Structure 1
Amino acid sequence: MKPQVNTAEPRQPRDPQAPKGRPTPKRNEARGPRRTMASKPMTRKEAVKRQREARRADMARQREALASGDERYLPARDKGPVRRLARDFVDARYSVAEFFLPMAVIILVLSMLPSMQLKNISLLLWLVVILLIVIDSIGISVRLKKKIRERYPDENRRGAIAYALMRTLQMRRMRLPKPQVARGEKP
């Protein structure tokens, strides 16, 4: 005769670390409760739409960071203390390269005038402007390298000098991220 099992007694709860006593759930059944239906796209079009919206939000956040100088949301090329020092170093001083575009317009106008003397002068001005930009860029790179080595000896300095020199070619009003230091201020 078989022993009778009392079904009226409550069963002891099983240890959560050993949940056997039932068949092992399939992977999609086990994952099911963790995923919410709100985050799972219904169609491919909806997934693309969500990605596009997320990208737009990221771009808007980056635009705000470029305008305000918020380090957290800056693009990768502008992040880090070395890049910030390079930006501040360039923004704190005047450079010949930032006046290149206005000077180029003047020189082009001079070269279009009918006088041969003015054309020769404009050619000479091109040479002088380019020479001044090269000399100024060499000076900036030497001083900036020294300052970066002093302040951040262990940081990655790769590309910081080229980043600073490209920034000098932009007019101050057009620079992004916006300048955070005034002219003449120590970075």
Structure 2
Amino acid sequence: MKRRQSQQPEVVEEPVAAPHGKGRPTPKRREVVGQRGPVVAPKTRKEAYARQKELAKQSKAARAASGKAMTPAERRAALRAGDILPRRDQGETRRIARDYVDSHRMFSNYLLWLFPLMIASYVIPGAWIVQIVIVAVFVSLIVEWFFVGRKVRRLSIERTGSAQGGAMSIGFYAGSRAYLPRRWRLPAPQVDIGEEI
């Protein structure tokens, strides 16, 4: 007598396909953020000032919590080293202007000496000749700043392919640095007088 063989189907395990995506629908923004209340504009300058002060306090607290707050001494040291730059000093054209001013002797370097003379000319009666000389000096300074701005602009275009601003705006930036003594300049000079830039 033949035994009957049990015919059980072989079970083949199929690999489970990994779900596409994260397995849940993306929540709507309003579900995550929640309801925003109406934004009320300040009605008076006093309210606007109070709101601005509060926002500044919150941002200062957030910076302190993140550990990025600097003491005034640390900030000044970072400014001197050039690690952080104010917006007016940022950019390759401004860096070239700073290096140009720091490596050249300019007529603007002696502008601070002119202020006592200017004050004396207004105090002393009959010193109208000194006032004319002072006006002539200021005109010559503006001419110098224009030529320095053109030179720096040309250098910037040669090196980087572009320049931030026109000759006069770059010249005024250079002049505002040139009249300060070297030890007062921020960021500190990176080149010596006479050095090639």
TM-score by length of 2: 0.59
**Does the aligned pair in 2 maintain the 1:98–1:172 contact within 8 Å?**
no
**Does the aligned pair in 1 maintain the 2:81–2:188 contact within 8 Å?**
yes
Structure number, greater radius of gyration: 2
Aligned to 1:57: 69
Q: Structure 2: any 5+ residue segments left out of the alignment?
A: 1-15, 33-54
Identity of aligned residues (%): 27
Supply the AA of the counterpart residue of 1:63: R
* 2:182 alignment partner, one of 168, 172, 175: 172
In structure 2, what is the Cα distance between the partners aligned to 1:162 and 1:55? 37
**Does the aligned pair in 2 maintain the 1:107–1:126 contact within 8 Å?**
yes
In structure 1, what is the Cα distance between the partners aligned to 2:157 and 2:188? 25
For residues 95-114 of structure 1, give each alpha carbon's deviation from its aligned partner in whole angstroms, at most 9, with x where no partner exists: 22232222111232244235
1:89 to partner: Cα distance: 0.7
After TM superposition, the structure 1 = structure 2 runs for residues 127-146 of structure 1, keeping only pairs within 5 Å, are 127-146=135-154
Distance 1:133 1:108, change over 3 A: same
For residues 105-140 of structure 1, give each alpha carbon's deviation from its aligned partner in whole angstroms, at most 9, with x where no partner exists: 1232244235x3xx1332132123213212211221
In structure 1, what is the Cα distance between the partners aligned to 2:188 and 2:139? 28
Aligned to 1:101: 112
1:186 to partner: Cα distance: 1.4
Give the stretch that moved more between structures: 74-83 or 175-184.
74-83
1:156 to partner: Cα distance: 4.6
| 1:85 and 2:80 are equivalent in the alignment | no
Give the stretch that moved more between structures: 128-137 or 83-92.
128-137
Aligned to 1:39: none
Higher normalized contact order (CA 8 Å, seq sep 6+, divided by chain length): 1
After TM superposition, the structure 1 = structure 2 runs for residues 157-168 of structure 1, keeping only pairs within 5 Å, are 157-158=164-165, 160-168=170-178
Runs of 4+ residues deviating >6 angstroms: 23-27
Tell me how large the CA RMSD over aligned residues is. 3.9
1:168 to partner: Cα distance: 2.6
1:175 to partner: Cα distance: 1.7
Aligned to 1:75: 86
Q: Structure 1: any 5+ residue segments left out of the alignment?
A: 1-12, 32-43
In structure 2, what is the Cα distance between the partners aligned to 1:67 and 1:107? 31
TM-score by length of 1: 0.61
Give the stretch that moved more between structures: 47-56 or 85-94.
47-56
Aligned length: 155
**Does the aligned pair in 1 maintain the 2:153–2:163 contact within 8 Å?**
no
1:24 to partner: Cα distance: 7.9
**Does the aligned pair in 2 maintain the 1:97–1:168 contact within 8 Å?**
yes
